[in-house]
Structure 1
Amino acid sequence: MASTSHNPAILLRRVLSLRENSHFVLVIDSIGRSGHCVLDEVAHEAEGSTTIIYVSFETIRKPNYATHFIDGCISPSRLLTTIQSFLPSPEHSKLSAGSKFLVVIDSINSIPGGNLVQFVTQLASPSVALLAIFHKDVPEYRSAELENYPSSIQLLKFMASSIIEVRPFTLDIGEEQDQESGLQKLDMPTGLNSSVYKLILTNRRKSGRALTHEFKCDSQTHSFTPIQNDEDSTGDPEGSESFEGLTTFNLGTSNRQKAAKEQVALPFLEAQTFNTGGAIVYEFEKDDDYDEEDPYEDPF
């Protein structure tokens, strides 16, 4: 079976079908391209047994793929309680390990910045996936109390395990820059929300390493074609050829060393839970050598 690290299309389909270990998927759209196309792809890729709770701030009618439809125009605390009433309790989630639950939010901009962390962390879990759309062109109101607080998009990008950004598809960088300049002036060209669009996927591993891939997507055929960037075709900057002749010793890394580097698990996902504060996360292993009688060498 091909590795998802070297097959971007497989990785994207795993994220959309909720088979990837992504508890919080953030979709970023703009006035040039709506992110609802990603919701349709998730509904197409998700299994029939998936329970989808749709939280609406902008949608008037219940989508066909939604199991439950919730009006989000209430207080954040009441909204959180309403959503959790459709989700399994921690005890029941262990018993129903095969079932999947997906919470879809069509505009997470409507959640106040001061409530975002609590809202996301209490919904996203190993048994519940959270998929939220953020409109990056919508101005954010920031009160005086949150002046030194991170913005909503900064918090969401930090907490998200996968980030999907959708843009109108363009043939080259020049056309993309001209289109972006026109959109800033509210000059709307035709065909912005066509069936073909550009998708940028950023997937974070458990170690915190981010993999970014670009795709040309077609919502009619449900196809995802990876886009090869110029910087990808130049080769690996860490390869031995880039250091050849510069030193008298080898600074390159072998394929085995690169594979071992990718498998190193750092406490990145543990930091996203906001429960450990500034503590160092350490997992004790049986091969660790320490003196049980010395309290200063106690790994715990």
Structure 2
Amino acid sequence: MNQNSLVVLNRILSLKENSPFLLILDSLAQSAHYLIRELASKNNEITYLSFETVNRPSYASKWLECHGKSVEEIVKETKSDAKQQLVVVDSLNYFSSQQLTQLVSGIIAHPGTTFAGVYHTNGSYNHTDIHSRPFSYYPSELTILCYIASTILEVEPILKDSRDEEVLDSYIQKLQIPIGFDLHSPRFAVALHYRRKSGRTLTYHYLIDATTHVYEVQEQKPAVSQEDEGLLKDLTTFNLATNVKQKAAREQVELPFLQAQEALGSAGGAIVYEFEKDDDYDEEDPYEDPF
């Protein structure tokens, strides 16, 4: 399973999977810079659309400063005669909802072109106005991007436990950078959501080292659901907790609706009842139904 998930990641980064639009979500805690470099290391023809990047990256075959340009101009200038091309934009936050659909559909319409766009998930990064949407109930830019993206890559810093995540979130909400966290590191975590042609979504978690180009599968701890008997203690004068024998007996009880499911809907609803020895059934009562 781990080997298969690594193959999926490598094929997506190498543009060998049929995934024309890669949406990369980053934040103040972890930039998409190193993930973009990983994409660039596996591809040759790269067109870089700049809104926030000052200096042209060394891997960019073509550099386009996008400030002041319309969507039509950007789409036109991304057209290439190369057999395979990767178009990267460093921020999709500068486009409105309507412009985003026009931009994505226009770029991926070019033959052999894959579009990788970065979206900053922190609210302060959003440079579009909610009043620019045609309707007040129109979906947000992030909602539209997640809907049309064939692959979503969420980059996050590597944290020790959930408590660190809560502390980090509290700082990020205040636009503060906490001390003691390894933020914007070349070694980071990635959550991959890949939509196959069948509509099924595959979700994997990785640890990526952009320095050594080594990928690891991050094991997710399954959520353990256990009853907290301590919550029932001292609530009343009698015991509400269950012992091991009582739990085993409860799990062996066959619920009535399970019998109805065995027919797989071939029959209508019915009352399932089994008489017990202590049942008081009056045969002379016309309104008493034994079934």
Fold-level similarity (TM above 0.5): yes
Count residues in correspondence.
Answer: 227
Q: CA contact under 8 A between 1:114 and 1:146: conserved in structure 2? A: no
Pick the aligned partner of 1:133 from 118, 128, 131.
118
Paired residue secondary structure (1:40) = helix
- State the match for 2:104 in structure 1: 120
Question: What is the percent sequence identity of the aligned residues?
Answer: 31
- Separation of aligned partners in 1, 2:223 and 2:88: 33
Pick the aligned partner of 2:30 from 30, 33, 41.
33
Residue 72 (1) aligns with residue 57 (2): no
- State the match for 1:224 in structure 2: 215
Q: CA contact under 8 A between 2:71 and 2:102: conserved in structure 1? A: no
Q: CA contact under 8 A between 2:151 and 2:194: conserved in structure 1? A: yes
- Separation of aligned partners in 1, 2:154 and 2:220: 17
Deviation at 1:204, TM superposition (A): 0.4
- Separation of aligned partners in 1, 2:224 and 2:192: 19
Deviation at 1:62, TM superposition (A): 1.4
Q: CA contact under 8 A between 1:200 and 1:215: conserved in structure 2? A: yes
- Separation of aligned partners in 1, 2:169 and 2:107: 34
Residue 198 (1) aligns with residue 189 (2): yes
- Separation of aligned partners in 2, 1:201 and 1:25: 10
Q: Map 1:1-300 to 2 at 5 A.
A: 7-46=4-43, 50-73=44-67, 74-84=69-79, 87-88=80-81, 99-125=83-109, 127-137=112-122, 138-139=125-126, 140-143=128-131, 145-190=134-179, 191-231=182-222, 247=258
Query: TM-score scaled by structure 2?
Result: 0.71
Paired residue secondary structure (1:180) = helix
- Separation of aligned partners in 2, 1:141 and 1:29: 20
| Counterparts in 2 of 1:45 and 1:233: CA distance versus 1, 3 Å | farther
Paired residue secondary structure (2:107) = coil
- Separation of aligned partners in 2, 1:206 and 1:200: 20
Paired residue secondary structure (1:118) = helix
- Separation of aligned partners in 2, 1:231 and 1:207: 26
CA RMSD of aligned residues (A): 2.7
- Separation of aligned partners in 2, 1:72 and 1:224: 33
- Separation of aligned partners in 2, 1:21 and 1:231: 30
- Supply the AA of the counterpart residue of 1:13: N
- State the match for 1:266 in structure 2: none
- 1:199-257 Cα offsets, whole Å, 9 max, x none, are 111000012111111112211111121111123899xxxxxxx9xx7756998xxxxxx
- Separation of aligned partners in 1, 2:152 and 2:26: 11
Give unpaired runs (5+ residues) of structure 2. Answer: 226-250, 263-291
- Separation of aligned partners in 1, 2:18 and 2:99: 25
- Separation of aligned partners in 2, 1:149 and 1:156: 13
Q: Which moved more, 1:190-199 or 1:154-163?
A: 190-199
- Separation of aligned partners in 2, 1:13 and 1:228: 18
- Separation of aligned partners in 1, 2:190 and 2:224: 19
Q: Which moved more, 1:140-149 or 1:109-118?
A: 140-149
- Separation of aligned partners in 2, 1:128 and 1:249: 53
| Counterparts in 2 of 1:228 and 1:248: CA distance versus 1, 3 Å | farther
Query: TM-score scaled by structure 1?
Result: 0.69
- Separation of aligned partners in 2, 1:41 and 1:249: 54
- Supply the AA of the counterpart residue of 2:129: Y
Q: CA contact under 8 A between 1:13 and 1:45: conserved in structure 2? A: no
- 1:14-47 Cα offsets, whole Å, 9 max, x none, are 111111111000000011111111110001122x
Query: Over alpha carbons, which structure has the higher Rg?
Result: 2
| Counterparts in 2 of 1:233 and 1:221: CA distance versus 1, 3 Å | farther
Q: CA contact under 8 A between 2:25 and 2:152: conserved in structure 1? A: yes
Deviation at 1:150, TM superposition (A): 1.3
> Stretches of 4+ moved more than 4 A in 1?
245-251
